[in-house]
């Protein structure tokens, strides 16, 4: 009887393990399925229209530089700003303006982005960039600088010590530069003085703006929202999804909508950055039947002249004997390759790599495939 009970327990345990393993396998498959991986949140691909940052700009002075500031004799605007600042502080230097020769002051432009719903008293980051001939802003302090919007109103005031994260050292015969010492940042360096008003409560409709316009994606977003809310969304155009917000708590509605997941569609596109040799291809890129051959003729000439010395106690002269080595590489080991119809991105990359093609040559080949009409995708060269 004991043996039968133990056998029954063993079978039951095995059944539980099988059920657990099956459930685990289903969970893993669901987690790594293409559909689960392709789905993203609406908040990651669309913005609420009108909820955006506003750009601010200001002109100020940086002081405390170790002799790396503007030359006042050539940077007239820096000298005039310095004189004006000293006058506001009760120091009159108008009569001796041309005698000012300090190198510890620099004129700078200050920029910042005012985030949406920023309230007075909150802090934002700022960027500082040299305007004159200053060589290094490291160690400087930005004086009080008003930051204005496009309407000319002051929305923030900036001040603080600048951090450039750059290294610049110079000697009599050499110099070392890492980073850009004439640009820096001040974390939380500006205080918001005025907010940009935006009231959600008085709107009967809101619009979601897609970051990558696509009609299919817009319809999928509208369908996902309608399934969750009962039918308040419609795709107006490839960039816009309109929401009917009458009688609804808008903040709660937006919070519920932005966490919904959809599968965005994308246009087959190939991006080429010729300056750096970077190539980015979308997953939907297809190539029709095409034959590819690539090869270069390389001729390498190496000069290694040798010096011939005469024997001791002889009347000979020292002479330079030329030694030339010429190598020719016609890359004849590379063969013509054929890509079949409607190959995938993986097949295309594998085929081009099989021909031993580097990024630079691959750019030329992709442009030629597009010119032949075999590349079924947009080709964007930057």
Query: Encoding tokens for residue 18?
Result: 């099988």
Question: Could you read off the pLDDT of 7-54 as tens digits, one per residue?
Answer: 444 454 555 445 444 444 444 444 444 444 468 999 999 999 888 899
Note the pLDDT of residue 276: 75
C-beta separation of 205 from 242 below 8 A: yes
CA distances to 178, 182, 311, 374 from 164, rounded to whole Å, are 10, 8, 63, 49
Note the pLDDT of residue 294: 59
With 60 as the cut, is the pLDDT of residue 100 above it? Answer: yes
Note the pLDDT of residue 5: 44
As to burial, measured by CB atoms within 10 angstroms (0-12 exposed, 13-18 middle, 19+ buried), residue 221 is buried
Give this prediction's pTM: 0.65
Helix, strand, or coil here: 347? helix
Question: Could you read off the pLDDT of 178-237 as tens digits, one per residue?
Answer: 788 899 999 999 999 999 888 776 778 889 999 988 999 999 999 999 999 888 999 999
In this structure, of 170-179, 268-277, 317-326, 371-380, the range with the lowest mean pLDDT score is: 317-326
């Amino acid at each position: 009887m004991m043996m039968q009970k133990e056998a029954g327990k063993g079978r039951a345990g095995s059944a539980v393990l099988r059920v657990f393993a099956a459930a685990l396998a289903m969970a893993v498959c669901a987690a790594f399925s293409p559909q689960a991986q392709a789905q993203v949140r609406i908040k990651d691909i669309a913005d609420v229209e009108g909820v955006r940052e506003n750009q601010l700009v200001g002109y100020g002075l940086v002081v405390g530089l170790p002799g790396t500031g503007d030359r006042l004799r050539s940077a007239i605007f820096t000298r005039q700003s310095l004189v004006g600042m000293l006058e506001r502080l009760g120091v009159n230097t108008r009569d001796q303006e041309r005698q000012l020769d300090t190198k510890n002051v620099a004129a700078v432009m200050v920029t910042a982005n005012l985030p949406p719903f920023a309230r007075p008293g909150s802090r934002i980051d700022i960027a500082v960039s040299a305007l004159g001939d200053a060589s290094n802003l490291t160690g400087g302090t930005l004086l009080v600088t008003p930051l204005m919007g496009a309407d000319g109103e002051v929305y923030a005031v900036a001040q603080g010590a600048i951090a450039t994260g750059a290294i610049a050292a110079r000697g009599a015969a050499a110099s070392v530069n890492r980073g850009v010492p004439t640009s820096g940042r001040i974390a939380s360096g500006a205080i918001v003085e005025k907010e940009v008003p935006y009231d959600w409560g008085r709107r009967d409709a809101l619009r979601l703006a897609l970051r990558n316009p696509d009609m299919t994606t817009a319809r999928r977003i509208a369908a996902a929202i309608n399934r969750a809310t009962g039918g308040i969304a419609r795709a107006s155009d490839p960039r816009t999804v309109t929401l009917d917000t009458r009688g609804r708590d808008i903040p709660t509605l937006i919070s519920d909508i932005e966490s919904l997941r959809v599968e965005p569609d994308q246009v087959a596109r190939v991006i080429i950055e010729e300056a750096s040799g970077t190539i980015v291809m979308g997953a939907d890129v297809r190539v029709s039947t095409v034959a590819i051959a690539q090869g270069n003729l390389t001729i390498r000439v190496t000069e290694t002249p040798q010096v011939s010395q005469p024997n001791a106690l002889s009347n000979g002269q020292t002479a330079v004997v030329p030694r030339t080595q010429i190598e020719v590489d016609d890359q004849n080991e590379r063969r013509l390759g054929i890509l079949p119809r409607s190959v995938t991105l993986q097949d295309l990359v594998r085929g081009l790599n099989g021909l031993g093609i580097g990024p630079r040559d691959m750019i030329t080949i992709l442009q030629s495939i597009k010119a032949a009409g075999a590349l079924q995708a947009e080709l964007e060269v930057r």
